[in-house]
Chains A and B, each alone.
Chain A
Amino acid sequence: DIQMTQSPSSLSASVGDRVTITCRSSQNIRHSLNWYQQKAGKAPKLIIYAAFSLHSGVPPRFSGSGSGTDFNLTISSLEPEDFATYHCQQSYSSPTFGQGTRVEIK
C-alpha cells in the first residue's frame, strides 16, 4: 500500500495569511494526488485533483503543486470559510489518504 504523510498535522493562521500544506507519498504516484476540504461534522469536498487542477466552483486562492512523491496545497490568502481540515489522497492505486491537516484560527 502507498502511505501518505501530511505535514503539519495542524497549524494556526490568520485571515489573509498564505498557508502551505505538504503531502508526501511513499512511492512515485506521478500526478495522481487529490486534496479535500472537510468542515466539522460534514463530508469532505474535493478541491484539487490530479495534483494541480482546481475542481469546479473552488476559488482560485487554492492551488496545488508537485509530482512524484512531494505535493503541496497552498491557500494564497486565508478567508474565514477556509478554516477546516485538509486531506490529501492518492489515486494511483487503491486509494489512501493522509492523516489530515487542521487549519485553525490564530
Chain B
Amino acid sequence: DGGITQSPKYLFRKEGQNVTLSCEQNLNHDAMYWYRQDPGQGLRLIYYSQIVNDFQKGDIAEGYSVSREKKESFPLTVTSAQKNPTAFYLCASRTHGSHQPQHFGDGTRLSIL
C-alpha cells in the first residue's frame, strides 16, 4: 500500500543526546515536510524539502537538522541544542501540481528521560 511511514512511534531521549526520526514515503511525492505539534496547539513547520538535495527552514528550525538524499526519505535529527524536544512530530508529503493537499504519516512521539 502507498503511504508515509514514520518510525519509531515512540522515542525517548536522554539529555545531551541526538536522535533521528525516520520518514519514508512510497507515493512518489516531490515535497516532504516536518511539523511539530505540542498539546493543545496546531502544527508548526520545522523544515521542508521540495526536491532532492535541497531543503528550507520552517518557523522553528533551531535545534533540528534534516537531509534529503533520496526522494523517498526525509529524516529529522533532534539535536541536543533543542532544549524542549518533547512533542509529537509529524511528517507529510505532497506531489507537485496545483491544488494538491499534503498527506501525513502517523507521527512519532518524543519524550525526554
Q: Do A and B bind each other?
A: no
